[in-house]
Structure 1
Amino acid sequence: MEVSDLRVALFSGNYNYVRDGANQALNRLTGYLQKNGARVRIYSPKSPNPAFPSIGKVIGVPAIPFPGRAEYRMPLGITPKVQRDLKDFGANIFHISSPEFLGHRAVTLARRWNVPVVASVHTRFETYFRYYNMAFLEPAIEAVIRRLYRRCDAIFAPSESMAQVLREQRMSYDVGIWSRGVETDIFNPARRDPVWRRALGIRDDEPVIAFIGRIVMEKGLDVFAESIDVLRRSGVRSRVLVIGEGPARQWFQGRLPDDAIFTGFQRGDDLARAIASADMLLNPSVTETFGNVTLEAMACGLPVIAARATGSLSLVEEGVTGRLIRPGASEQFAQALRRYCEDPGARAEAGAAGRATSERYSWDAVNGALVEGYLRIIRHREAGGMPISRPR
């Protein structure tokens, strides 16, 4: 079997109506598959006003707004009409991208129809409940996710650190890697724009600490704000630059210093300019499985101060491309920030090392690795093999 023989049914709870790293990765995968002759059909809730033009044919599935987070939609399942479309398409592999109801139904259908099915892991959903005072639900959510992933032929993590977590959680006995890439021709240090900085009221010698991404509580907004408070109390001069948008923006604006700058949502060249015009990235989140913004910041030549958590552990080299800090340790985050604020040489050295690391991540290479995983699993099934249901 060759790549051009693939017919991939991709199931996503959110393929194009919110722009985030997971959706952009899925769209890039679809583009890569189609470029190489494979056929892809996406099954996802549809929106009359998608956040960005999507790649591939999207078949809508019924969904309702997610309670408390109306920007997301919660799929309700696979209707008979969608099942008929799936049959007509004749997929030879299913790919689910999130552990919600649509993913569960897709896995059930795949097993009923004897079609191989894989899952990609994009975020640590079980940890989200910590940020909404419902941490007691985490073991139950983890158990539900484990049941889903155990029914798949294989699962794919975006980093080795996340793959190890999945193995320790006994999520699957076949865990592969589908990493993420970065466009180094767009994200690079040459995008730094002193004129743009000055227009925002930032002095040339003023260190800028960036937050990049959707402004939601699970990104560690509380730890970010507390770390900035500690840094300010120590008398270190700095500015905060928030690049992104999200439902917790009002809370974040009220929590950060009055001189913090919010750029709103940025994309493409504008996003690259904003990142490269900062001096360091502070990423205290523990929910990422990879950290697209971390890689983009490294490509732009910024040192990264991140939580010692999945994703960052596979990207940030302690003391070389930045610092890895114990999750939630605001005092230690502030100490790391202080060093990079006060030592331009250390900033430049870590930024150059990060840029060199980022050049190893190309989209074609990482998507090609996932496609090889598809082919391996299909060949295994065609040879009479079955999914691994217990440890080897």
Structure 2
Amino acid sequence: MRIAIFTDTFFPDINGVAITLSKWSSYLEKKEISVRIYAPNHMGNKDMNNENIQTYYSIPFSLYPECRIAFPNPVHIKKSIHQFNPTLVHIATPFNMGLLGHHYANKYNIPMVASYHTNFDQYLSYYKIQWMEPILWKYILWFHQDCKKIYVPSHSTKKLLEKKQLQNIEIWSRGIDTEVFHPITNRNEVWQTYGISPEKFVILYVGRLAIEKDIEVLINAYKFLPKEIRDQCQLVIVGEGPLYKELKEKGADISTESITFLGFKQGLELSDLYAAADLFAFPSATETFGNVILEAMASGTPVMGIEAGGVKENIIHEKTGLLSPAHDMVSFKNNIERMVKETKLRSTLTKNALAYCRQKSWSTIFDRLLASYYDIEEQSTFQLDRMIH
């Protein structure tokens, strides 16, 4: 088996798609399965190629900067495809690199699968271009019609695509590395590092600071907490994005001392922040999965989120976390109050969430995906033999 993956985002990008694909390619290499990545180059206008990762000059995609528009050399890609001779093409994103993968898979009759990671249709209303939704869905339906499988991260996403008449949809869930994300940290030391009193009840958000993440729901919920509750708390926001400056200004309207913006964090710094927090609050209603929810759960931090998309499949209300209706600031505020006041509730949610995360190993999830790959390859070989004979 030789797998070619076409994606518009890959390491060193930090987002759910890039991280998942990086882990998946590493898993395949450990299984001694040949894999070649075709992706944008995030580092400038010079191609940075090696045997397993082919990258090309790119610019950010305006609607979603985590994905980039690449400008590959078609002659180079054609030569690389012929040299690698893939037995399966996996398309991870539907933009420029994905279109190239789509083209070559069809042109050379290579079995093709796709993974659906992002609800772009739900972003349109946030950017006031919802008139594009019929056009977008027409494109998505065309793009995926020849795929042997469409892998989605959650049951809610599967239902959405089935409602749009797409077929051959299979769940490819997400895992969590409990050696990276765990409850062990020196809480006092972590918060003192950032000038935050360890006596504060710390509410943490981790994610991109963009309009589709609904972070203003969290900011406003925090703003309207009863003063005696808010005085006990510190809101810590980790991440960067187009709303960074605007949100800092709004935060200053509440209190420059009770909201802290830490910018982008990763590695040990990020895992320590998760483990040191008293509550993880995630207001986004557009997630197909929500990797940060699992990261917080595995870190022993009680979580709260929105009853929508993939988030509601990981947060079981009153068992592994608390849920609020989408865009409901009052409910979100009330859930923050409950978390601050009810120590026993936080303890129960944490215990259940840790048990849940122990069932979400990457190796088990990747084993299932690889088995699906083999099934597709076997079926394609059988169909080809029938055509020949």
Q: Quick one: which of 86, 92, 112 aligns to 2:87?
A: 92
The match for 1:9 is 4
Amino acid at match of 1:24: I
Structure 1 residue matching 2:184: 3-state secondary structure = helix
Bigger RCO of structures 1 and 2 (CA < 8 A, at least 6 apart): 1
- Residues 77 and 105 of structure 1 are in contact (CA less than 8 Å); yes or no, is this contact kept in structure 2? no
Q: Is 1:57 paired with 2:52?
A: yes
Q: TM-score, normalised to structure 2's length?
A: 0.90
Work out the CA distance in 2 between the residues paired with 1:135 and 1:145: 15
Amino acid at match of 2:120: F
- Residues 27 and 55 of structure 1 are in contact (CA less than 8 Å); yes or no, is this contact kept in structure 2? no
Work out the CA distance in 1 between the residues paired with 2:274 and 2:206: 8
The match for 1:389 is none
Q: Is 1:19 paired with 2:14?
A: yes
1:306-361 per-position Cα deviation (integer Å, ceiling 9, x unaligned): 11111112211111111121110010011111100112221122112111111111
The match for 1:314 is 313
Alpha-carbon deviation of 1:49?
6.6
The match for 1:75 is 70
Amino acid at match of 1:364: S
Q: Is 1:231 paired with 2:225?
A: yes
1:110-165 per-position Cα deviation (integer Å, ceiling 9, x unaligned): 12211111111111112122221222222321221122112211110112222222
Q: Paired residues, what number?
A: 378
RMSD over equivalenced CA pairs, Å: 2.4
After superposition, the Cα gap between the structure-2 partners of 1:293 and 1:280, relative to the gap in structure 1 and judged at 3 Å, is same
Work out the CA distance in 1 between the residues paired with 2:6 and 2:226: 46
Would you identify which runs of 4 or more consecutive aligned residues in structure 1 move more than 4 Å? 53-56, 68-72, 232-235
Amino acid at match of 1:369: R
Work out the CA distance in 1 between the residues paired with 2:220 and 2:62: 28
Work out the CA distance in 1 between the residues paired with 2:205 and 2:379: 44
After superposition, the Cα gap between the structure-2 partners of 1:244 and 1:299, relative to the gap in structure 1 and judged at 3 Å, is same
The match for 2:132 is 137
Alpha-carbon deviation of 1:166?
1.9
Q: Is 1:356 paired with 2:351?
A: no
Alpha-carbon deviation of 1:98?
0.8
Structure 2 residue matching 1:94: 3-state secondary structure = strand
Alpha-carbon deviation of 1:254?
1.5
The match for 1:66 is 61
1:189-243 per-position Cα deviation (integer Å, ceiling 9, x unaligned): 1125222213434334422111112222221122222222222568543211112
After superposition, the Cα gap between the structure-2 partners of 1:134 and 1:344, relative to the gap in structure 1 and judged at 3 Å, is same
Work out the CA distance in 1 between the residues paired with 2:155 and 2:16: 18
Q: Quick one: which of 186, 189, 211 aligns to 1:195?
A: 189
Work out the CA distance in 2 between the residues paired with 1:143 and 1:338: 44
The match for 1:266 is 265
Structure 2 residue matching 1:84: 3-state secondary structure = helix
Structure 2: runs of 5+ lacking an equivalent: none
Alpha-carbon deviation of 1:14?
1.4
Amino acid at match of 1:162: T
Between the two proteins, what is the percent identity of the paired residues? 28
The match for 1:176 is 170
Alpha-carbon deviation of 1:248?
2.1
After superposition, the Cα gap between the structure-2 partners of 1:224 and 1:169, relative to the gap in structure 1 and judged at 3 Å, is farther
- Residues 202 and 234 of structure 2 are in contact (CA less than 8 Å); yes or no, is this contact kept in structure 1? yes
- Residues 61 and 82 of structure 1 are in contact (CA less than 8 Å); yes or no, is this contact kept in structure 2? no
The match for 2:203 is 209
- Residues 42 and 58 of structure 2 are in contact (CA less than 8 Å); yes or no, is this contact kept in structure 1? no
The match for 1:390 is none
Amino acid at match of 1:113: Y
Higher mean displacement: 79-88 or 61-70: 61-70
Work out the CA distance in 2 between the residues paired with 1:8 and 1:65: 26
Higher mean displacement: 25-34 or 135-144: 135-144
- Residues 321 and 353 of structure 1 are in contact (CA less than 8 Å); yes or no, is this contact kept in structure 2? yes
Work out the CA distance in 1 between the residues paired with 2:362 and 2:84: 27
Amino acid at match of 2:329: S
After superposition, the Cα gap between the structure-2 partners of 1:173 and 1:340, relative to the gap in structure 1 and judged at 3 Å, is same
1:47-73 per-position Cα deviation (integer Å, ceiling 9, x unaligned): 3379xx999722124533323766652
The match for 1:146 is 141
Work out the CA distance in 2 between the residues paired with 1:101 and 1:77: 9
The match for 1:295 is 294
Q: TM-score, normalised to structure 1's length?
A: 0.90
Structure 1: runs of 5+ lacking an equivalent: 1-5, 387-392
Higher mean displacement: 375-384 or 126-135: 126-135
1:351-387 per-position Cα deviation (integer Å, ceiling 9, x unaligned): 121111111111111111111111111111111179x
Work out the CA distance in 2 between the residues paired with 1:374 and 1:200: 46
Describe how 1:17-56 pairs up with structure 2 within 5 A: 17-48=12-43
- Residues 122 and 289 of structure 1 are in contact (CA less than 8 Å); yes or no, is this contact kept in structure 2? yes
- Residues 213 and 293 of structure 1 are in contact (CA less than 8 Å); yes or no, is this contact kept in structure 2? yes
